[in-house]
Amino acid sequence: MTKIAFQGERGAFSEDAATRFFGTHIDFLPCAYLRDVFQAVLTEEVPFGMVPVENSQAGSINDTYDLLLSYPLNIFAELILRVHHCLMALPGQSLAEITAVYSHPQALAQCDKFLSQLQVETIPAYDTAGSAKMIKEKHLRDCAAIANSRAADIYGLEVLASGIETNPHNYTRFFAISKQKTRPARENKTSLVFAVKHVSGALYSILGIFAARDINLTKLESRPSRDKPWEYVFYADFEGHVDSEIYRGVIEELREKTTFLRLLGSYPKSEERLA
């Protein structure tokens, strides 16, 4: 049985993403921190990890991007998950009895309209599913957690309200990470990180490499360099797989025009429909 590492408690959205991609016949290794997920894959305690990389509302998850640069692992696959938030509490509790709601700060922010109507105290916690687990283990009455419906099933809580996110277009992008590489699929993406010299037009020349070949650059984002203050590296995604000749040529030209370049992986594009 394949074992998948993820950050958080059982019932986290990362577990949901792993199940969507790998199927239900898998085992899990919950980790306290994102770094622990990468370490478990690196040491071959597990063959795969599932990590969140970007949310359509909150933007990039910087810790994940920093760890992708730090660890010699491959992006094996991409999955885009529609995020549905639920309010859950101990069995027998009613919505009118709830006075406090626990969850990850991002989940609380994403449900701000619903929570303002309840007029309850909101209490940040380190994890969505962890909040549900805490309410169950501590038997916290008049308290609720925001998490996904899987967490309610795992911890024996009742869902008091579902679909409580303010924006219905709430998606999180996940990467499956591994020591393994994946074969080209019908539609592929490639992720890489690079740095350029501090000279006029340096980044423009990089973008020209993609434009000249009519390659769709789907993401470009800068992050501070961990080695030098006020210097930056660029994370980029483009459509295509480096196993094909045209994209190998792109990488060769990029290496000539960058001061640093590392491929993070070529992988199948997520088939999730944004509807």
On whether the CB atoms of residues 64 and 51 are closer than 8 A, the answer is yes
CATH code of 130's domain: 3.40.190.10
Please write the tens of the pLDDT for every residue from 136-146.
Answer: 999 999 999 99
Same domain, yes or no: 174 and 132:
no
Mean pLDDT of 150-178: 95
Same domain, yes or no: 41 and 28:
yes
On whether the CB atoms of residues 125 and 131 are closer than 8 A, the answer is yes
Distance CA 161, CA 115 (A): 11
If residue 178 lies in a helix (H) or strand (E), which one and from where to where?
strand 171-178
Please write the tens of the pLDDT for every residue from 49-68.
Answer: 999 999 988 889 999 999 99
At a CB cut-off of 8 Å and minimum separation 6, what does 150 contact? 11, 15, 16, 129
Domain end call among 178, 209, 241? 178
Catalytically annotated residues: 172, 174
Same domain, yes or no: 109 and 68:
no
3 state DSSP class of 30:
strand
Determine the residue type at 202. Answer: A
Q: 34-42 vs 62-70: helix axis angle to the nearest 10? A: 20
Q: Which domain does 66 fall in, by range? A: 2-82+170-178
Same domain, yes or no: 14 and 72:
yes
Same domain, yes or no: 135 and 18:
no
Please write the tens of the pLDDT for every residue from 232-264.
Answer: 999 999 999 999 888 989 999 999 999 999 999
Same domain, yes or no: 73 and 201:
no
**Whether the predicted pLDDT of 275 surpasses 80:** no
Has this prediction a pTM greater than 0.95?
Answer: no
Which string of b and e fits 231-240 if b means at least 16 CB within 10 Å? eebbbbbbeb
Beta bridge partners of 87: 146, 161
CATH code of 224's domain: 3.30.70.260
